Homo-oligomer: A and B are copies of this chain.
Amino acid sequence: MAIIVQKFGGASVADAEKIRRAAKRVMERMQGGHQVVVVASARGRQTDELMRDALELNPNPPKRELDQLLSTAEQQTVSLFAMALDAMGAKAISFTGGQIRMLTDGVYSKAQIISLDSDLIRYQLDKGRVVIVTGFQGIDQYGNVTTLGRGGADTSAVALAVALKAEECEVFTNVDGVYTADPSVFKNAVLLDEISYDEMLELASLGAGVMHFRSVAFGKRHNVRIRVRNVAGNNPGTIITHEVPQMEGVLVSGATIQKDMAKIGLVGLPNVPGTAATVFARLAAAKVVVNDIIQTEISPEKANLSFMVNTGDLPTARDVAQELKTELHCDSVFVRENIAMVSVIGVGMRSQYGVAQRFFEALAKAEVNIDSITTSEIRISCAVDISQAEKALEAVCLAFQLDRPARQRAAI
């Protein structure tokens, strides 16, 4: 019998009514003849409340104890979920990460999954039970509770789908799936029927995905068919899967906007080996996340180096840059705030020409000034002034016909 893994995030299990709604999703799949494994997150704001309780006692709580504490929130959800299913007449059993031997490394608060006991889960499924597993948590080899960090519950779900050779991993959320662009910015954005792992990874790293980068990467590595769909209503959602030939006909799958960005430049750096390594080692040590690095030579001896940071990291990044200026003897440091990144993503770019041209033409026609440009194999990004960002996104969306489904778009 085919197995389906269904993952419900915190908002989808926030209260009794929502848990019942989620449980009905399970019943539907059961009635469709599937065996169902549920992965559930902490209810609503439970994790935040526990974190607040912890900080009240210790401003810097030991990580082991924090994981021991936070893991209780999912344990509560899964047992309540099992009770809800029982009340609907289904047989159900809940498990913590420890109980299914979801073995991780020992890095508290951001552990990586090593293995899990799929035999136990299969045994329970074969007894006609729905198996409900805590997302976001595991245990290390000594039995200490670990949590998986951001995107952890999605990763748990994908790991279970891999281990159980599930037909599909359904990730329930509060949107219908993945859109060509953020509908709150580009009103005519349309829902994608499917998207490739690589495109989804680009979207996730641009902060636009409904799933975390890590779980998509895990799904790609193990070839798990992931369906992102709305817990309310009946929309079939978006399937994330391996690239198929027809995807190449689609030039651009989606466009994104990232606000809260700032650019820092080091002007006139000595152009000697190791300079860039020093810069980024220092930024990493200060825990600054860096994007879109651009280096250009300005003379045989000197180069300019710029990079983007989130506004939240700007004060730290600025301090590091000032220290580096003195240390590396560069001419000056500049900071540009109020930047947004507008990007288009599509695996079709690999095999077709003219994407960059159309992108820049659209921005030119909309009179958007481009600060800098970075690209990957399946992405083009421009830094623009925040005041022009939404206009830029709309222009790009229209240029690539992101207001209609892929198969209704005109050929270039």
Q: Which residues of A contact B (CB under 8 A)?
A: 16, 19-20, 50, 53-54, 56-59, 61-62, 64-66, 68-69, 71-73, 75-76, 78-80, 82-84, 86-87, 92-94, 96, 98-99, 143-144
Contacts and interface: CB of A to CB of B under 8 A. Distances in A.
Chain B CB count within 10 A is highest, among A57, A66, A72, for: A57
Contacts of A73: 72
A82 B65 contact: yes
A56 to B, nearest CB: 4
A20 B84 contact: no
Contacts of A92: 65
Contact of A57 (B64, B68, B80, B96): B80
Nearest to A67: B79
A93 B64 contact: yes
A66 B83 CA distance: 8
A86 to B, nearest CB: 5
A332 B313 CA distance: 85
B65 A86 contact: yes
B78 A62 contact: no
B57 A16 contact: yes
A76 B19 CA distance: 22
A80 B98 contact: no
A120 to B, nearest CB: 9
Contact of A16 (B53, B78, B84): B53
A21 B327 CA distance: 50
A80 B53 contact: yes
Contacts of A75: 68-69, 71-72, 75
A68 B50 contact: no
Contacts of A82: 62, 65, 68
A87 B99 contact: no
A83 B68 CA distance: 11
A399 to B, nearest CB: 50
B57 A20 contact: yes
Contacts of A72: 72-73, 75-76
Chain B CB count within 10 A is highest, among A72, A87, A99, for: A72
A117 to B, nearest CB: 10
A83 B54 contact: yes
Given A16-B53, A68-B94, A143-B99, A61 B86 contact: yes
Contact of A79 (B19, B56, B69, B78): B69
